[in-house]
Amino acid sequence: MSEKVVDQREREELVTRFFAYLNGWDTPAGRFPNYRDRPKKYLYDYLKSANDAAATDPGLTGNMRLEFERMLGVVQKLFPNGFRKNATANTIPRVRFEAIATGTALALRQKQDLDITSEQVVAQMKEKAFDKIVVSDGANVRSKLEGRIEIVRAILVNE
């Protein structure tokens, strides 16, 4: 990430998006409750509720950190370019990060040991036209958000 993007707190934005979408995936109120194709309010509401939960559960942030770090380890192992589109890319698009990070964590919640190779992931991503799906055009539409996350999850659990 460039220094400018870091100064704009993009890292914090990406981590917030990861947990908001991961923890909003399967709730008693449905998937992404109150999400209205504009993530700003959804993310703000999530962050407020997560801060409240962390204040009452001292172990919560440690567990979240472990889950985040585990996801990063799997992404490093299975996605040759990490969150970047290719080896020479200098940016990490939000939509790509959301899909890979959240889809990977959901797969890990479903199946602790993912039985897939990096080569298989790359082939499946190509087959499912992942790069065309993770474009920013209409990226915040709920169905597109769900679709790109689901593609990654399904690939990793071999569905």
pLDDT, tens digit, 9 for 90 and up, residues 13-71: 889 999 999 999 988 888 888 888 778 888 999 999 999 999 999 899 999 999 999 99
Task: Answer for the pair 42, 34: CB distance below 8 angstroms, yes or no.
Answer: yes
- Owning domain of residue 100: 3-156
pTM of the model: 0.90
Q: Are 105 and 157 in contact (CB under 8 A)?
A: no
In Å, what is the CA distance from 100 to each residue of 3, 19, 121?
23, 13, 11
pLDDT per residue over 102-131, tens digit each?
999 999 999 999 999 999 999 999 999 888
Instruction: Return the number of other C-beta atoms located less than 10 Å from residue 130's C-beta.
Output: 20
Cβ(36)–Cβ(143) under 8 Å?
A: no
- Please give the tally of structural domains in the chain: 1
